[in-house]
């Protein structure tokens, strides 16, 4: 009898001791598994990305990789504004498979701190890259800025949402459009004919107008310059060509 009571008391005391000791050691409830969506929700302006992560099922893939990967992951998170400023129909114009590729393109298969980008060599593999070198990005970095370039868009990292191994999440103000989805088509349709059209247009107009002004202006500024008529012509032409190139650059910008 006495022994059972003392055993019971001993058990209770032991339990209390264990609890008392366990409390300071365990920092809280069991730590929740790392969850990209939760990080993005906290950021407050990534609802489009969260929706895309869901519909493409990349969300599960990323979260299970976070749990298993030795290398960690880095996610570039375009804001809702970034998605809103895409041309209408950009996302809907992609097949389901291409949308998956677009989302995976924003995920790098290892953890990068911001400073580690300074020693990264280009091109950098993304989760959309296969081993034939497609869907890569170039990252250039100084101590104050990190730029990501896809060959179609170029954008700096604007904010760090999280940078603790194994997950880094960096905010960006543009959607990273992969060259492999958006780079090949536009040169064939829009931008290529544009400069070709502009060049003849400019050179057709310019010879008449600047030629009249050009020589007189030049003879005022350098009356004794040993530049023959032909030399002046070359100068005018290089001026015209320069203006044309600047015009083209201006129109590209």
Ligand X SMILES: *[C@@H]1O[C@H](CO)[C@@H](O)[C@H](O)[C@H]1NC(C)=O
Q: Which residues bind ligand X (CB under 6 A)?
A: 33, 35, 37-38, 41, 63-64, 67-68, 122-123, 138, 140-142, 145, 147, 149, 151, 154, 156
Give the residue with the Cβ less far from ligand X, 47 or 90.
47
Q: How far is the CB of 123 from ligand X (least distance, A)?
A: 5
Q: How far is the CB of 179 from ligand X (least distance, A)?
A: 6
**Cα–Cα distance for residue pair 14/151, rounded to 1 Å:** 66
**Cα–Cα distance for residue pair 34/55, rounded to 1 Å:** 20
- Report the candidate in 253, 219, 252, 251 with the shortest Cα–Cα distance to residue 235: 219
State the Cα torsion 185-187-190-192 to the nearest 10°: -160
Give the residue with the Cβ less far from ligand X, 149 or 158.
149
Give the residue with the Cβ less far from ligand X, 71 or 238.
71
Helices 36-43 and 58-68 cross at an angle (nearest 10°) of 110
**Cα–Cα distance for residue pair 102/177, rounded to 1 Å:** 7
Handedness of CA 121, 131, 111, 101 (dihedral sign): positive
Q: How far is the CB of 140 from ligand X (least distance, A)?
A: 3
Q: How far is the CB of 166 from ligand X (least distance, A)?
A: 12
Q: How far is the CB of 105 from ligand X (least distance, A)?
A: 13
Give the residue with the Cβ less far from ligand X, 147 or 163.
147
**Cα–Cα distance for residue pair 98/88, rounded to 1 Å:** 17
Cβ-closest position to ligand X: 151
**Cα–Cα distance for residue pair 53/44, rounded to 1 Å:** 15
Give the residue with the Cβ less far from ligand X, 90 or 158.
158
Q: How many residues does the chain have?
A: 253
3-state helix, strand, coil in the chain (%, to 5): 50, 15, 35
Contact 34, 67 (CB under 8 A): yes
Q: How far is the CB of 89 from ligand X (least distance, A)?
A: 24
Give the residue with the Cβ less far from ligand X, 33 or 242.
33
Q: How far is the CB of 96 from ligand X (least distance, A)?
A: 22
Q: What is the DSSP string of 130-162?
A: -TTS-SEEEEEE-SS-EEEE-SS-EEEEEEEEE
Give the residue with the Cβ less far from ligand X, 118 or 213.
118
At residue 42's C-alpha, the angle toward residues 64 and 92, to 5°, is: 70
């Amino acid at each position: 009898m006495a022994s059972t009571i003392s055993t019971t008391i001993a058990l209770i005391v032991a339990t209390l001791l264990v609890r008392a000791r366990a409390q300071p050691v365990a920092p809280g409830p069991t730590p929740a598994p790392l969850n990209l969506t939760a990080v993005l929700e906290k950021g407050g302006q990534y609802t489009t990305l969260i929706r895309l992560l869901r519909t493409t099922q990349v969300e599960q893939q990323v979260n299970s990789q976070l749990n298993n990967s030795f290398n960690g992951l880095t996610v570039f998170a375009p804001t809702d504004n970034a998605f809103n400023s895409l041309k209408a129909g950009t996302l809907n114009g992609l097949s389901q498979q291409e949308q998956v590729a677009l989302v995976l393109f924003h995920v790098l298969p290892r953890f990068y701190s911001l400073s580690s980008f300074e020693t990264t060599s280009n091109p950098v593999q993304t989760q959309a890259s296969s081993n034939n070198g497609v869907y890569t990005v170039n990252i250039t970095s100084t101590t104050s800025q990190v730029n990501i370039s896809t060959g179609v868009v170029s954008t700096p990292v604007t904010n760090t949402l999280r940078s603790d191994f194994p997950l880094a999440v960096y905010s960006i103000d543009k959607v990273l459009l992969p060259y492999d989805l958006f780079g090949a088509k536009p040169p064939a349709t829009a931008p290529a004919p544009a400069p070709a059209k502009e060049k003849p247009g400019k050179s057709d107009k310019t010879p008449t107008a600047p030629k009249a002004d050009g020589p007189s202006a030049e003879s005022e500024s350098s009356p004794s310059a040993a530049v023959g008529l032909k030399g002046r012509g070359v100068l005018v032409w290089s001026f015209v060509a320069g203006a044309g190139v600047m015009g083209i650059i201006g129109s590209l910008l």
